Structure 1
Amino acid sequence: MKFHTQHGRPRRAWSGLVTGVILLLLAQVAIGGAASAATSAPTSTSAPTSTTGIPVIHNVAMDTVAAMQPSWNLGNSLDAITTETSWGNPLTTKAMIDFIKSQGFHSIRIPVTWSNGQSATAPYAIDPTLMARVKQVVDWALADGLYVDLNVHHDSWQWVADMTTQHDAVLARFNATWTQIAAEFRNEPKKLLFEAINEPVFNKATDAQKLQMLNELQASFHTIVRDSGGRNATRMLLMMTPGGSGDQSYLDNLAAQIKSMNDPDLAATVHYYGYWPFSVNIAGSPTFDAVSQKDLTDSFARFAAVFTSKGIPVYLGEYGLLSEPGSGTVERGEMLKYYQMVADQARAAHVTTALWDDGSYLNRNTLQWRDPALFAWIKASYTTYSGTVSTDQVFVPKSGTATARTLTLNLNGTRFGSLWNGSTKLVKGRDYAESGDQLTLTAALLARLTGSKAYGVDATLQVRFSKGIPWQINVLTSDTPVLSDATATIDSTSVFTIPTRFNGDRLATMEGAYADGTGAGSASWTTYQAFNSDFAPDYANNALKLNPVFLAALKDGVPATLTFHFWSGALVTYHVIKNGSTVTGTTGTSTTS
């Protein structure tokens, strides 16, 4: 399991178990991405509308998990290492749980790292203080009428991962852990669910060994809980794939195990963080394009084919993106399209979704959403597919004449309604033209909106459709960004800063290549490096940053050419060379596609 850090707080991210599968695709992505992005800034493609949903199957398990939609994760709290507040969130309060209930969530996933208060040797006793604290939070949620998913979380990589070489000790500790949890919660209401283990990984194991060990753990979990009596005899239990992956073979294995248990109160749980290159903005994938969309629709089609179409419920215990929503890694409009399609495909497949929140969505100190508009979009997506537009950014050159811009409407089953600038309804024929899936903003409108000639956002237009949330389009004044020469002495922690005048533009991605065409940067298999990992814009301080991971990967004494792709279509090249501890950067050429 990997962690990303935002503002010093570790966050849950993509499981390392699926990396091998993804890497098989990256060569194709790198080639395709380079071909499509080399001549212009990335552009969005139209998102397909909802697929036809499978027939609803009613049984106790399916209806129970359906009633849990939508769900929310209390992430980086009781699962934080080593205390509840270690990763930047405050102590969980009843008011916090009440707030989640008030926001329309019907269930809450409570990840717990039990090793925070458990002996590492037999009898593997859990500290009563930790157990009591977990029970307190669980009971607050149950008292609010929420369903609760309680699990064994980061223990999966802390000590369960050693099962390959320490089979008996790991199995004994796992059994002791669930024996204690089952005993403590045996009489809790049946709205409490147990999840065997979060994203299990097994060190130095083959796929066959991973499946064998996970099957053994989950079979033991099932027996322990059922034999503990009370309401545990029929409590809903969630079983997971290795790493939470939606790989076909993993899903098939889990389906076979659930079937073999002949227990009607079982459900499958998996995770989804999107197509990896898009989710972290690498390999020339800054947009929610056809490749990313297909990864999503294929994943939910598998969930439906293997599980829900056969009456086995699926709880998507974590979903989101691998980059923080406020980090700028994934452009906002592309992010909105992604979240909406996840919800749409989940509806079609009868999958319940649990938003992973490590504190990046809800400010748990103030009980306010950090980005209310983003949350409103996510909330609406649970029931409605809103119309979107091919972009949420229109750039008008300061140094040139405004020209008309034609955008694509992704109607998604809606009808175009009207176009607004704030509280002013714009006039069709004068301000815009609309026909079919085409929306044209006239040159006169854009010239009027950007008349101040100040760089940045001059106006925010609102496209209203027959249903759903309106789509926002920022109209920005910009010119081609200008980079300056720089030199610096670096060490392993240094950031190389390129003085930059962004001139109202926004960075989409960066390409790094040596003269032979190979990638320059930490991702040598692609020329397009990872946003915010290898490089990052610093708009407030007028700089582009080349981060330590990128600098460390540069070949000594070998010049590299960087191409910065901006959302306006501007391409700006820059040359860097590292000689020992000295990095020198010089300006290159600028073009506009």
Structure 2
Amino acid sequence: MNRWLGRGINFGNALDALGGGSELPLDERYFDEVARAGIDTVRLPVRWSAHAEPAPPYAIDPAFFQRVDAGVRAALDRDLNVVVNVHHYHELCAAPDEHLPRFLALWQQIASHYADHCGRLCFELLNEPRGQLTAARWNAVLAQALAVVRDSNPERTVIIGSADMNDPGALPALAVPDDDHLIATVHYYAPFEFTHQGAGWVEGAEGWLGRMWGEPADENAVRDDLAEVAAWGRQQRLPLFIGEFGAFSRADMVSRARWTTFVRAEAERLGMSWAYWEFGTDFGAFDLQRSAWREPLRRALLG
């Protein structure tokens, strides 16, 4: 399945939108663009927690389920793989004990709802665990959530990541369950001062504007980071998926394209699948206003 995931892209800021920023309309023509470009996989970040009851049985709004279904169907109809996750469940990260029953109930509904879908649909348990979801706590929560999924989807590919926001350096603390249908994920945004320069939600990011990327030392740093990830995967006998990587739109385009090309090429050299963050908003490889790919980023991703 990891080979099938291949080259992917995130449809971020659509079903996971927090409001107050750029949002991606989940339009079927964007799935057409992705398929025509030669991309294999769409990762659909979904903020289920904003569309479910706060008290038992924590039912997910049927109308929202229909929106997610439309995205899943649009991808599968075009022979794209699709990754559906739980995204932006910040309350779980802040208060795991309080929100664990709700988190498990969300996965029981999601897994049951998609149990009959083909194997090109994958589940990702939680995007970027953080805060009070420390490594030890997250390992326990992950195991419980996986067990819930396995009740209705015994052979579905499930993607798991470490605490500390899926940072590659946190992989050694991830307790990998005994399961034959797992893929591990990391998110890669290094160096952060380059990839997030000018990002309004990051304190101090305005001071990073103008940072370039592309010197031999820059390449060596990426090479070393991803080599460590690959070594961990070999040790665990677990395939690897870089579920997010990208550089914010205020960075110099030449440097963005160099960085994207290098990360993508190293990931592929090491046998990792990947999904660029993201399609058409703040990091976007596609210009929604022009209805066209940003050619330096398209080339960086696909050659």
Is residue 144 of structure 1 aligned with residue 78 of structure 2?
Answer: yes
Is residue 302 of structure 1 aligned with residue 228 of structure 2?
Answer: yes
Question: Displacement, 1:143?
Answer: 1.5
Question: Displacement, 1:154?
Answer: 0.8
Say which of 248, 251, 276 aligns to 2:171.
251
Question: Displacement, 1:69?
Answer: 1.3
Query: Counterparts of 1:374 and 1:342 in 2: how far apart (Å)?
Result: 12
Which letter does structure 2 place at the counterpart of 1:343?
R
Which letter does structure 2 place at the counterpart of 1:275?
P
Which letter does structure 2 place at the counterpart of 1:265?
H
**Residues 200, 310 of structure 1: CA spacing in aligned structure 2 closer, same or farther, 3 A cutoff?**
closer
> Which secondary structure state, in structure 1, belongs to the residue aligned with residue 118 of structure 2?
coil
Is residue 195 of structure 1 aligned with residue 124 of structure 2?
Answer: yes
Question: Cα deviation per residue 1:3-24 (whole Å; 9 max; x = unaligned)?
Answer: xxxxxxxxxxxxxxxxxxxxxx
**Residues 227, 280 of structure 1: CA spacing in aligned structure 2 closer, same or farther, 3 A cutoff?**
closer
The residue aligned with 1:185 is: 114
Larger radius of gyration: 1
Q: Is the 8 A contact 1:195 1:239 kept in 2?
A: yes
Root mean square deviation, CA, Å: 2.1
Question: Cα deviation per residue 1:300-347 (whole Å; 9 max; x = unaligned)?
Answer: 1111101046531111010112x21xx2x3x33333321221122112
Q: Please list, as runs of the form range in 1=range in 2, the aligned pairs for 1:559-570 lying within 5 A after superposition.
A: none
Query: Counterparts of 1:284 and 1:96 in 2: how far apart (Å)?
Result: 31
Query: Counterparts of 1:141 and 1:280 in 2: how far apart (Å)?
Result: 29
Q: Which has the higher helix share?
A: 2
Query: Counterparts of 1:180 and 1:310 in 2: how far apart (Å)?
Result: 30
Question: Cα deviation per residue 1:492-550 (whole Å; 9 max; x = unaligned)?
Answer: xxxxxxxxxxxxxxxxxxxxxxxxxxxxxxxxxxxxxxxxxxxxxxxxxxxxxxxxxxx
Which letter does structure 1 place at the counterpart of 2:8?
S
Q: Please list, as runs of the form range in 1=range in 2, the aligned pairs for 1:227-242 lying within 5 A after superposition.
A: 227-228=151-152, 232-242=153-163
Query: Counterparts of 2:290 and 2:234 in 1: how far apart (Å)?
Result: 38
Question: Displacement, 1:265?
Answer: 0.5
Question: Displacement, 1:99?
Answer: 1.7
Query: Counterparts of 2:254 and 2:290 in 1: how far apart (Å)?
Result: 26
Query: Counterparts of 1:336 and 1:181 in 2: how far apart (Å)?
Result: 36
**Structure 2, gaps ≥5 residues long:** 198-207
Is residue 121 of structure 1 aligned with residue 50 of structure 2?
Answer: no
The residue aligned with 1:162 is: 94
Identity %: 27
Question: Cα deviation per residue 1:429-487 (whole Å; 9 max; x = unaligned)?
Answer: xxxxxxxxxxxxxxxxxxxxxxxxxxxxxxxxxxxxxxxxxxxxxxxxxxxxxxxxxxx
**Residues 279, 170 of structure 1: CA spacing in aligned structure 2 closer, same or farther, 3 A cutoff?**
same
Question: Displacement, 1:290?
Answer: 4.0
Question: Cα deviation per residue 1:228-275 (whole Å; 9 max; x = unaligned)?
Answer: 2xxx1100000011201011xx21222xx22xx321100101100121
Query: Counterparts of 2:107 and 2:295 in 1: how far apart (Å)?
Result: 38
Question: Displacement, 1:224?
Answer: 0.4
The residue aligned with 1:92 is: 26
The residue aligned with 1:172 is: 101
Q: Which has the higher strand share?
A: 1
Q: How many residues align?
A: 289
Question: Displacement, 1:279?
Answer: 2.6
The residue aligned with 2:241 is: 315
Is residue 72 of structure 1 aligned with residue 38 of structure 2?
Answer: no
Query: Counterparts of 1:233 and 1:278 in 2: how far apart (Å)?
Result: 41
Q: Please list, as runs of the form range in 1=range in 2, the aligned pairs for 1:554-593 lying within 5 A after superposition.
A: none
Question: Displacement, 1:140?
Answer: 1.4
> Which secondary structure state, in structure 1, belongs to the residue aligned with residue 187 of structure 2?
strand
Q: Please list, as runs of the form range in 1=range in 2, the aligned pairs for 1:75-474 lying within 5 A after superposition.
A: 75-81=12-18, 87-155=21-89, 157=90, 159-163=91-95, 167=97, 169-203=98-132, 210-228=134-152, 232-242=153-163, 243-247=165-169, 250-254=170-174, 257-258=175-176, 261-280=177-196, 282=208, 285-308=211-234, 311-321=237-247, 323-324=248-249, 327=250, 329=251, 331-357=252-278, 358-359=280-281, 360-364=284-288, 367-369=291-293, 371-380=294-303
Query: Counterparts of 2:286 and 2:258 in 1: how far apart (Å)?
Result: 20
Query: Counterparts of 1:273 and 1:301 in 2: how far apart (Å)?
Result: 15
> Which secondary structure state, in structure 2, belongs to the residue aligned with residue 189 of structure 1?
coil
**Residues 153, 179 of structure 1: CA spacing in aligned structure 2 closer, same or farther, 3 A cutoff?**
same
> Which secondary structure state, in structure 1, belongs to the residue aligned with residue 140 of structure 2?
helix
**Structure 1, gaps ≥5 residues long:** 1-63, 204-208, 381-593
Question: Cα deviation per residue 1:152-190 (whole Å; 9 max; x = unaligned)?
Answer: 0011x2x11223xx51x2110110110110111011101
